[in-house]
Structure 1
Amino acid sequence: MLSSLLTEPDRLWTAAEVLARPSAAPPEPGVYGWHFDVAPHPDLPAKTLLYVGIAPRKMTTRSSTQHLRKRVRYHYRGNAEGSTLRLTLGCLLGLELRRVGSGKRMTFGKDGETRLTAWMAEHARVCWVQHPEPWSWETELIAQLDLPLNLDQNKHNPFHPQLTALRAQARQLARTLPIVG
């Protein structure tokens, strides 16, 4: 079953392995799962699956160029504006969310994103399962598994209200702070 391939994977991949050229992550569609050897929050367990994502998202009006390699690499080295996982982890780790550029985008700024990337390189591990239509599994996985870092379709999770409030507070504070480079 797909869920056990994510909860008990044969292999967890590091940032170095995913970001290397060639990358361990395949350029194929699929479902990916994030495990952390250190919990990003005291109320969460360590060494277990905490988040799942899919690549590509189901597109009804245009085709997506996303696949496992692009998406997983972006989570490891992108920014909070383009990665809900990075936004969540940064908020849980107490990084300060800021408006950047024109002020419409929010990230943890250069220093915060660098700190988050380093934290993920040290503590985050990812696995994946290739699947031609990953969106067909997303709802079922979120309903079946305890995935406290997933917000979409996951209001039943006991951690959902706390995480939602924490992210909202971070955004509210960012709106009151000056825009950074």
Structure 2
Amino acid sequence: MDFALSSPTRLWSAAEVLTRPCPVPAAAGVYGWHFDEAPAPGLVAGQLLYVGIAPRHMSNRPSTQNLRKRVRYHFRGNAAGSTLRLTLGCLLGLELRRVGSGGRMTFGRAGEASLTEWMAEHAQVCWLEHEEPWTMESDLIAKLDVPLNLDQNRHNGFHATLSKIRSDARARARELPITS
């Protein structure tokens, strides 16, 4: 299964994923992100850099998330709701800001639009349906070299660098005024 994410037979662009009908199934599963341009020095373009699951395992309530919702959100959402977008924006040097009441952080309208454009140009995704994706997330992160994943990935050589970049961006955002 990890080979299907690291060396997929097909990758999908934002333009393809955001069309109707959407090719991404409204089902549970895992997804992998590839980039034709590395978002930071030290990362390799053209390789799998991030994996995610949908839905997350929630024992106290059912999740409404699925592959289609999650993948589409990563392509057009914001950093407050997408760890992938938060990571990419920080690596690309976008300014993280507190928004609304100050509890959420995004790159603001202009920054999120810039990130959406960058992803449309450079990001591609693949996926696999799986009824209980949370049962395989740890194993995938342990087996694959996915430097943009932080959770459960301390063994990765890029972990400390990415952690510092994101931590510094959050610290700077806390010093700046809240934006609308």
Query: Which residue of structure 2 aligns with residue 100 of structure 1?
Result: 99
- Displacement of 1:179: 1.1
Query: Which residue of structure 2 aligns with residue 110 of structure 1?
Result: 109
Query: Which residue of structure 1 aligns with residue 37 of structure 2?
Result: 38
What is the identity, as a one-letter code, of the residue corresponding to 1:136? T
Matches of residues 61-100 of structure 1 in structure 2 within 5 Å? 61-100=60-99
* Mapped partners of 1:12, 1:124: distance in 2: 9
Matches of residues 88-167 of structure 1 in structure 2 within 5 Å? 88-167=87-166
What is the identity, as a one-letter code, of the residue corresponding to 1:82? G
SS of corresponding position for 2:124: strand
Query: Which residue of structure 1 aligns with residue 175 of structure 2?
Result: 176
For these two proteins, the number of residue pairs brought into alignment is 180
Q: Could you list the runs of 5+ residues in structure 1 that have no partner in the other structure?
A: none
Partner deviation per Cα, 1:14-42 (whole Å, 9 max, x = no partner): 00111111111110000000000000001
- Displacement of 1:103: 1.1
Query: Which residue of structure 2 aligns with residue 50 of structure 1?
Result: 49
SS of corresponding position for 2:58: coil
SS of corresponding position for 1:53: strand
Q: Could you list the runs of 5+ residues in structure 2 that have no partner in the other structure?
A: none
What is the identity, as a one-letter code, of the residue corresponding to 2:104? R
* Mapped partners of 1:24, 1:111: distance in 2: 28
* Mapped partners of 1:66, 1:20: distance in 2: 19
- Displacement of 1:11: 0.4
RMSD between aligned alpha carbons?
0.5
- Displacement of 1:180: 1.1
- Displacement of 1:102: 1.0
Q: Give the TM-score taking structure 2 as reference length.
A: 0.99
Partner deviation per Cα, 1:38-58 (whole Å, 9 max, x = no partner): 000011000000000000001
* Mapped partners of 2:102, 2:2: distance in 1: 39
